Amino acid sequence: MPQALKAIYRNGTFILQTAFELPEGTEVELLIQAPQVVSPPIVDVKTKRQFLKSLVERMQQNPIPMNAPQFTRDMLHERR
């Protein structure tokens, strides 16, 4: 059964943040999650205006369906 473990990558090595024992030679699969995705700031006012207009248009063209499942607070927050 899959289990989630947290690790930090340092100097070419994944360092587990929680205690967990694996038999020597156990193969694992890693899923990399970036801490955050940050786009470079748009400093040009005209470009920023065009970007925001385009964003709003795309959101209006792809509304959330009325029958879409509703997420609970617990579903939206990471559990530890």
Predicted pLDDT at 9: 83
What pLDDT score was predicted for residue 58? 92
Whole-model pTM above 0.75?
A: no
> Domain locations in the chain?
1-33
**Average pLDDT of the residues of the chain:** 85
52 SS3 class: helix
Distance CA 48, CA 71 (A): 31
Distant-in-sequence, close-in-space partners of 6: CB < 8 Å, separation ≥ 6: 16, 17, 18
